[in-house]
Amino acid sequence: MRVELTEVTLEVEDSGGSGPAVLLVHGFPDTHDCWRHQVPALNAAGYRTIAPDLRGFGGSDRPAETAAYAPARSAADLLELLDRLGVGRVHLVGHDWGSGIAQGLAMAAPDRVASLSLLSVGHRGALADAGWEQRSRSWYMLLFQHEGVAEEWLLRDGAAHAREFLTEHPDADEVVERLSEPGALTAALAVYRAGLPPRALFGPEVPLPPLPGPVLGMWSTGDRFLTERAMTGTEKYVAGSWRYERVEGAGHWLQLEAPERVNASLLGFFADHA
Strand pairing category for 238-239 and 211-212: parallel
Count how many Cα atoms sit within 13 Å of the Cα of residue 61 in the half-sphere of its side chain.
16
Q: Is the pLDDT of residue 95 over 80?
A: yes
pLDDT digits (tens, 9 = 90+) for 30-71: 999 999 999 999 999 999 999 999 999 999 999 999 999 999
Beta carbons within 10 angstroms of residue 224's beta carbon: 10
Select from 228, 251, 235 the least CA-distant residue to 130. 228
Q: What is the pLDDT of residue 198?
A: 82
Mean pLDDT of 246-251: 97
Would you state the pLDDT for residue 146?
Answer: 96
Q: Cβ contacts of residue 94 below 8 Å, gap of 6+?
A: 24, 25, 27, 100, 101, 102, 103, 117, 118, 119, 121
- Give the confidence band of 208 by pLDDT, cuts at 50, 70, 90: confident
The alpha carbon of residue 43 and the mean position of all alpha carbons in its chain are separated, in whole angstroms, by 21
Q: Give the three-class secondary structure for 8.
A: coil
Q: What is the pLDDT of residues 10-21, one digit of tens each?
A: 999 999 988 999
Measure the CA–CA gap between 92 and 84, rounded to whole angstroms. Answer: 17
Given pLDDT bands bounded at 50, 70 and 90, which one contains residue 26? very high
Inform me whether the pLDDT recorded for 203 exceeds 90. no
Apex 98 CA angle, 219 and 51, nearest 5 = 110
pLDDT at 207: 82
In this predicted structure, the answer to whether residue 237 has a pLDDT above a threshold of 90 is yes
Give the three-class secondary structure for 169: coil
pLDDT per residue over 131-151, tens digit each? 999 999 999 999 999 999 999
Q: Which is higher by pLDDT, 212 or 206?
A: 212
Task: Specify the pLDDT at position 266.
Answer: 98
